[in-house]
Amino acid sequence: MPRRGWRRMNNIELLFSSPAIAGGLLIDGILFGSIFALIAYGLALVWGVMNIINVTQGEFVILGGFAAVVMADNGFHPLLAVPVAALVLYVLGRLLYRTIIHRIVDRDLFTSLLATFGISIVLQQLMNIVFGGDPRNADAGLGVWFAFDYSIVLSKVKLLAFVLAIVVGAALVVFLKMSRLGQAIRATAQNARAARVVGIDTNRVYEATFALNAAICGAAGALAATAYTIHPYIGLPYTVRSFMIVIIAGLGNIGGVLAAGLGLGAAEYYAGFILGAEFQIAFVFGLLVVVLLARSWWLGRKRRYLK
């Protein structure tokens, strides 16, 4: 298709010739990326502590988003939904742990992968039935700021979502460092057996970790629904983004998670602009493959492999 290829070239040219567009994309991307970083931090928590890769991550996010949408529809301010969504997801997380997750904690990784994938399909379809398949948004009615002679448009709600995502992330870090439960979670992550020896009830720690992760995702989802749009089938990209960020940053590296998250957000906005919005999801999943290949190749040079 020569026409579309031509458009892409034009888009790249436009990026270089107009710093306002490039800068606007960068800012938008970084703002969106903060939400990815928050979700990725939750995934790293569950992965590090329970050795489970939670594919349900994205569905938790969307569910939190729908909580915000429902509250906005009923006349509440959608940002009130952030704690509410976190609470709802916290309860759901506990429930899922009690029924399913505790059976797969010590099983092999593929079992947990497939089981959480099954849960994510159930949640996805339930949301489709309950809320419908249309893209939704919880409008906070905050408007926009203009900067540099109206050349950069800055949506206030995206900025607020960014700040809140950072606040939630920081609160989580403090919680893990300071509180008793946070210390127990970190101890279990380091060595579950030793933690049991010194009297930590690891089963309760796992439950708390899983529920905490769900709550984080819920809060992130409420922010995502307020600042962006959601629909029931957009969960998996969130899962894959968070997975990608954790692979790049490594487990237990908060600064790395934040940097990778913001970088991914920016990369996605540039890719969406250059390739066209219809290839943005393809870019996310393609990037996942590239990141894994790069990591695998890098380890292969050291005679190790991705395991």
Partner 1 sequence: MNPQKMFLYGAIVLAGLAGPFIFPNNQVQMTELWLFIVFALTWDLVGGQMGYNSFGNVVFFGIGMYACAVVQIGLVYDVGEYTAAKGGGTAFIFDLAQYIWGFAIGLPVAAMLAALAACVLGSLVLGMRGHYFAICTLGLGIAAGEIAAGWDWIGAGSGMTPAPPPHDIDNVNRLFYYMAFALAVATFATIAWLLRTRFGLAINAIRDDEDKAEAMGMFTTRIKVTAWVIAATFLGAAGGIYGNLKRFIDPLDTAFSGATIGVWMVLMAILGGKGTLWGPVIGAIVFQVTKELFWTYLLGWQRVALGVLIVVIVVFFPEGIVGRVRQMFPERFGPRADAREGAE
Considering the rule CB under 8 A, would residue 183 count as an interface residue with partner 1?
no
Nearest residue to 222 (alpha-carbon basis) of 26, 28, 34, 85: 85
Site residues for partner 1, window 244-263 (CB under 8 A)? 247
When binding is defined by CB under 8 A, the residue of 133, 183, 289, 298 that contacts partner 1 is 289
When binding is defined by CB under 8 A, the residue of 66, 243, 270, 273 that contacts partner 1 is 243
By rule CB under 8 A, what string of x and - marks binding of each residue 192-231 to partner 1?
----------------------------------------
Q: Could you identify the residue written with the tokens 């968070």?
A: 242
When binding is defined by CB under 8 A, the residue of 68, 187, 219, 240 that contacts partner 1 is 240
* C-alpha torsion angle, residues 107, 110, 113, 118 (rounded to 10): -90
> How many residues contact partner 1, by CB under 8 A?
44
Considering the rule CB under 8 A, would residue 7 count as an interface residue with partner 1?
no
Ramachandran assignment for 238, one of left (phi > 0), alpha (psi -120 to 50 degrees), beta (any other) = alpha
In this chain, which stretch among 33-41, 175-183, 203-211, 275-283 interacts with partner 1, using CB under 8 A? Answer: 275-283
Any idea what DSSP says for residue 302? T
- What SS3 state is found at 18? coil
Residue 275: its H or E element = helix 254-275
The residues, ordered by sequence, that sit 6+ positions from 288 with a Cβ below 8 Å of its Cβ are 240, 243, 244
Q: Do 131 and 235 contact (CB within 8 A), yes or no?
A: no
Site residues for partner 1, window 107-126 (CB under 8 A)? 107, 109-111, 113-115, 117-122, 124-126
Nearest residue to 165 (alpha-carbon basis) of 259, 53, 244, 258: 258
Q: DSSP E strands: which ranges in the chain? A: 144-147, 152-155
When binding is defined by CB under 8 A, the residue of 1, 197, 255, 303 that contacts partner 1 is 1
Q: CB of residue 257 vs partner 1: minimum separation in angstroms?
A: 17
The contact set with partner 1 (CB under 8 A) reads: 1, 4, 53, 100, 103-104, 107, 109-111, 113-115, 117-122, 124-126, 129, 236, 240, 243, 247, 276, 278-279, 281-282, 285-286, 288-289, 292-293, 296-297, 300, 305-307
